[in-house]
Amino acid sequence: MEDNLFGQDWEIEPAGGETGKAFVAIHEDEKFFLKKNSSPFLAALSVEKIVPKLIWTRRVENGDVITAQKWVDNGQTLTVREMRESRVAKLLGKIHQSEALRDMLQRIEKKDYSRFHLLDSVTENIGRLNRVDTKVAEAYRYLLANVEGLKEERHVVCHGDVNHNNWLVSEGDELYLVDWDGAMLADPANDLGVLLYQYIPYSEWETWLEKYGQALTREFYTRIKWFSICQVLRAMNWQFEHNREAELARLDLLLKKIIEDDEVYVKLCE
């Protein structure tokens, strides 16, 4: 990468992450975040100020496409508690409501996933997940029993992994949602469900969702629960493939919480 893009005075370091495609380029007062083969969708996200500013995109000799983004000085990821803040709800609402982002992703990615497509992706690997935990079988039965009657909302741009480590705050208090490799067009409940169950106390769901722009109804709750289970099972499969036992155990607890959830439902039925 150094030979293709930078002179010998630049220092290139891995930026961490699970794909090994992210790097930091440093030279005196200049610093960039580099990534190999990011989606072209990154440019649209940069224009909307959802990710740090995209500086340039270049193709190197081996065919890889390298993107350089503005380095966020002293950037911090959100804490678990900070996920409850209204600015998280508002930014996710902005993303989901953006027609410009939706049209752009539809043109360049062609990843429009219905509930049936997502369920198929779970079904492909459900056998090996069943060996990990007995709750998996119960969760899968729930998906099968409720898929036909589920009413999907209009598909929007979904991030696909809205955990707190992907929310970045700059020194100037600008909030970004980063790591868009899993972006897709889908029911917004794909993002909302796992975020609510992981970070927002049940007593705060209604208020948080108001900031996002969604009323807490029985129909919405049904979608939240179904898509949350589906997303967790898909994530468990990824963690299983990469032998990440600690993360798999965390997801197992989250799955149990979602399956056994009745507090919100009871409240909505009152």
Distance CA 118, CA 169 (A): 31
CB of 112 closer than 8 Å to CB of 155: yes
> At which residue do the structure tokens 């917004």 appear?
188
In the chain, DSSP finds a helix count (H) and a strand count (E) of 12, 10
- Three-state SS for 115-152 is HHHHHHHHHCCHHHHHCCCCHHHHHHHHHHHHCCCCCC
Distance CA 268, CA 248 (A): 31
**List 161, 179, 187, 191, catalytic entry:** 161
Q: Identify whether 161 is a catalytic site residue.
A: yes
Q: How far is CA 224 from the centre of its chain?
A: 15
∠ CA(139), CA(257), CA(175), 5° rounding?
A: 110
* Residues designated as active site: 161
